[in-house]
Structure 1
Amino acid sequence: MNLAHAHHLRKGRYSKAGRVYIVTTVVTGREPLFQDFQLARTLVAQLRHAHDQQWVSSLCWVIMPDHLHWLIELRQIGLSNLMRRVKSRSSRFINAAANRQGRLWQKNFHDHALRKEHDLRATARYIVANPLRAGLVTTLRHYPHWDAIWL
């Protein structure tokens, strides 16, 4: 992505409760913070918090070393508000756990609304297969940082 035009990602963003989205957000500087097991699990706790607060219905996610892919059905809050809350909370807890300061996440995020006819299971399989395509593991059984409701 051309960072000079990254601010255009926010223009015209529309979100709707009940709609399914794929959301991707990236660590500042692509620092591979989530190679650390505990930091990745700290992020998992924040994804679960968003689900428990009924902001989203979390369908699947995968945490890569330097970014997150998350398949959600939006519930009570808008997409920008959701991401602001999740990024803020996760930054606070991860920075404390890693004894670090400063911005954790890149300012923006990418979202893609799915059409009703999309096969959610196929989309989830594609998302959680990211570690395989990246060559991090040869089988998902060896990658601890993913989940899907269809297990």
Structure 2
Amino acid sequence: MTDYRRIYIPGSTWFFTVNLAKRKGHQLLLDHIENLRGSFIKVRKDHPFKIIAIVVLPDHLHCILSLPEGDSDFSTRWGLIKADFSRGIAKGESLSSSRNKRGERGIWQRRFWDHLIRDENDLYAHLDYIHWNPVKHGLTKNAADWPYSSFQRFVNAGFYPENWCNLNHNFEIDFGE
């Protein structure tokens, strides 16, 4: 069995990739986008965090979250977000015997991919990756056209030009997709 070790640094900023258990041909996250938004809002009330950037795709999401000073527990937050979202989805997904034995749903992959943001350049690279992702996956030709992203907020703040994705981008970072 693989030993998954995570580092926990209070008050840090993290990049995450969170995937559905069944990815190919599924668009559960978009079909239930309001449920997902509600799950983030509900969890954030009791376990504060700041969403720096986010993109939601049909079968996975990427985001950058900052935790409050003195708090390093991002795993609980993801567990709560995933559980709350799952409660809002009608049962009917196929379950493996191990999930069935544990009483789990089969909506999300059990784990998620995390990366500690190290510095400003690392943050900018991950912001670009998040906002380029719908274009990368062929879901839109322009980052500005994807409605499930924080891209427009960054355009409005002057961080990106509206036509940003028309520029030449070549992202070589592997974020667990």
Is the TM value for this pair above 0.5? yes
Aligned structure 1 segments of 4 or more residues deviating by more than 6 angstroms: none
- Conservation of the 8 A alpha-carbon contact between 2:12 and 2:72: no
For residue 28 of structure 1, give the secondary structure of its aligned residue in structure 2.
Answer: coil
Select the residue among 72, 77, 83 that pairs with 1:82: 77
Would you tell me which structure has more helix in proportion to its own residues? 1
CA distance in 2, matches of 1:147, 1:121: 14
**Does residue 143 of structure 2 align to residue 143 of structure 1?**
no
**2:131 is matched with which residue?**
128
- Conservation of the 8 A alpha-carbon contact between 1:33 and 1:65: yes
CA distance in 2, matches of 1:109, 1:67: 10
**2:11 is matched with which residue?**
18
**1:40 is matched with which residue?**
33
**1:73 is matched with which residue?**
66
CA distance in 1, matches of 2:122, 2:110: 30
Would you tell me which structure has more strand in proportion to its own residues? 1
**Does residue 21 of structure 2 align to residue 28 of structure 1?**
yes
CA distance in 1, matches of 2:84, 2:27: 19
**2:87 is matched with which residue?**
92
For structure 2, list consecutive stretches of 5 or more residues without a partner in the other structure: 93-104, 157-177
CA distance in 1, matches of 2:122, 2:5: 26
Number of residue pairs aligned between Structure 1 and Structure 2: 138
Please, what TM-score do these two structures have when normalized by structure 2?
0.67
CA distance in 2, matches of 1:119, 1:108: 23
Please, what TM-score do these two structures have when normalized by structure 1?
0.78
More relative contact order in 1 or in 2 (CA 8 Å, sep 6+)?
A: 1
For residue 138 of structure 2, give the secondary structure of its aligned residue in structure 1.
Answer: coil
The structure having more radius of gyration, on CA atoms, is 2
Listed as ranges, the matches of 1:102-113 within 5 Å are: 102-113=105-116
How far apart are residue 81 of structure 1 and its match? 1.1
CA distance in 1, matches of 2:115, 2:47: 20
Q: Percent identity, aligned pairs only?
A: 25
- Conservation of the 8 A alpha-carbon contact between 2:30 and 2:56: no
1:44-89 C-alpha deviation (Å, 9 max, x unpaired): 2222334444521110111111011110112245021111111111
Which residue identity is paired with 2:126?
Answer: T
How far apart are residue 12 of structure 1 and its match? 2.1
